[in-house]
Structure 1
Amino acid sequence: MQFMTVEQYQLVKKQAKKILNTYTTTKDQKVIQAIQALVQEKIDEKLTFTEISQQLQLQPIFNIETKEQLHYFLNDIKPYVIPFQAPTANELKKLFPKEKKLKLPNLDSYDWKETSYLSWFDAGTNRKYIVYREEGTLKGVRGVFSHSEKVGICTVCNQHAKVGMLLVAKKGTDLGTYTKKGNYLCQDSKACNEALSDLSKFEDFVENLT
């Protein structure tokens, strides 16, 4: 039975890497136990278990001492992840009806168990598209995306990465006027999704733009 959202899975993945890093940098049992306790606290804060078997699936996290064990652990728990409900090409076209020549991404290339939101960039128009689900309803936002060679902090996943400014134009209160809103977002949407373990940051991001 699937019991983890994608963002919860990403959080567990981060905590598993923290355990591995602890084992590889110290032999002090008190330090190891303290990190294990912090990891348990983070998991309990983010996940709600309905069955004891769900908790047992995550127990091996506390004994990850090698990269191989980390790899096996993540593979073992991935079947319990609830994937992002993949949209169809027609659904995407309906989201952006004004785009007569909408260039769609290859939907078959996505790992939906690693995806909290769908995003792609059209180099021909310099537009970046963001698609997400809000209470089950598919929603989308698009804007002009300016690339930068500088490393900054992504507003969505909060990691240091190559970011760009996404500017979204909205109709103003007066006829014929527009307002622009923008924020910094990872250029690499796949990496952004993998680093996104708190969906509220993404929700704040799209709310600010829309």
Structure 2
Amino acid sequence: MESFIRSDQFNYIEEQIKHLLHSHATVNDAGVLDALRSVTKEKVLERFGSLTEYQEELIVKIIDVQDQADATLYLSRLRQYVHPFPEVKEENVQRAFPALKKVKVPSLERVDNRDLTYIGWDDYGSRQKFLMFRTEEGWTGIKGSFRKSQRNGICSICHSQERVGLFMADIKTAGESELKRGHYICQDSVACNQNIQRLEPLNNFIEAMTSDD
């Protein structure tokens, strides 16, 4: 069974399912429901590049979802095809944070890797937060201070409204000087991952926090 769905794509499909269920519960016009199903199918397919015939058949079955039982069955079947986040080993962490002598490897035992687009963990002793991403270039890590906010805000990574905090990272420039850059991100990285429905905000965040421009 070959996986072909990213975590953010699966999250987007889940969100579209919620809209469909709401429509079925509130709309009585069959023509309107047919139109909504068609629009939903097209919106979901747009999130993918080329699909095999079998993969497309799996995705477009979203139009058959009418109630919670249908949704549970559909999503459980699709979940089997979600790419799991790669196993994180000590050498991966050291590669992501080469300037640090020792970084504790985060425990992901209680987290389903299929829910992850990135990983984040806190070092409460130093009040530091570590974020780790898998990009085309390999493992990328960003370390910074983190100050929790008492109010909700928009996270720069998932673009959802959550309880956030100010993440401040030190960026080394080409001249070896340091810049401080800050963005508000989710306090809970697991919740943040579950909110990610597209990669553009995440990629923009990585670029902003690692570029020395």
| Structure 1 residue 156 displacement after superposition | 1.4
Secondary structure of the 1:108 match is coil
Distance across 2 between alignment mates of 1:2 and 1:136: 21
Between 1:192-201 and 1:8-17, the stretch displaced more is 8-17
Q: TM-score, normalised by structure 1?
A: 0.90
Which residue is equivalent to 2:193?
Answer: 193
Structure 1 contact 168–182 (Cα < 8 Å) conserved: yes
Q: CA deviation at 1:44?
A: 2.1
Distance 1:136 1:171, change over 3 A: closer
Alignment correspondent of 1:169? 170
In structure 1, the residue corresponding to 2:121 is in which secondary structure? strand
* Range moving further from structure 2, 121-130 or 166-175: 166-175
Q: Does 1:11 align with 2:51?
A: no
Q: 1:109: how far off? A: 2.5
Q: Following TM superposition, by how much is the alpha carbon of 1:102 offset from its aligned partner in structure 2, in angstroms?
A: 2.7
Spell out, residue by residue over 1:14-55, the C-alpha distance to the aligned partner (whole angstroms, 9 max, x if none): 112221121122222233223212212211211134321111
TM-score (norm 2): 0.89
RMSD between aligned residues: 1.9
**SS of aligned partner of 1:109:** coil
Contact map agreement 2:41 2:62 (CA 8 A) in 1: no
Decide whether the 8 Å contact of 1:49 with 1:55 is kept in 2: no
Residue range with higher mean Cα deviation, 197-206 or 25-34: 25-34
Any idea what SS the aligned residue of 2:106 has?
coil
Aligned-partner Cα distance in 2 for 1:80–1:26 = 32
Q: How big is the shift at 1:135?
A: 0.8
- Equivalent position SS for 1:155: coil
Which segment is superposed worse, 15-24 or 59-68? 59-68
Paired AA for residue 123 in structure 2: D
**Cα distance change on mapping 1:95 and 1:104 into 2, 3 Å:** same
Alignment partners' CA distance in 2, 1:125 and 1:103? 13
Q: Secondary structure at 2:80's aligned position in 1?
A: helix
Deviations 1:103-156 (A, max 9, x none): 332132321111111111121111111111111511111111110110111111
d(CA) in 2 for partners of 1:193, 1:170: 24
What is aligned with 2:38? 37
What is the 5 A alignment of 1:130-209? Answer: 130-135=131-136, 137-172=138-173, 177-209=177-209
Q: 1:101 to 1:133 in 2, by over 3 A?
A: closer
Q: Is the 8 A contact 1:157 1:197 kept in 2?
A: yes
Distance 2:158 2:36 in 1: 23
CA deviation map 1:70-129 (0-9, x unaligned): 222111111111222222123213422444453332132321111111111121111111
* CA-CA distance at 1:179 after TM superposition: 1.4
Calculate percent identity across the aligned residue pairs: 28
Q: Secondary structure at the match of 2:120?
A: strand
Query: Given that residues 171 and 178 in structure 2 are in contact (C-alpha distance below 8 angstroms), is that contact kept between their aligned partners in structure 1?
Result: yes
**Corresponding position: 1:72 with 2:73:** yes
CA 1:94/1:3 → structure 2, altered by over 3 Å: closer, same or farther? closer
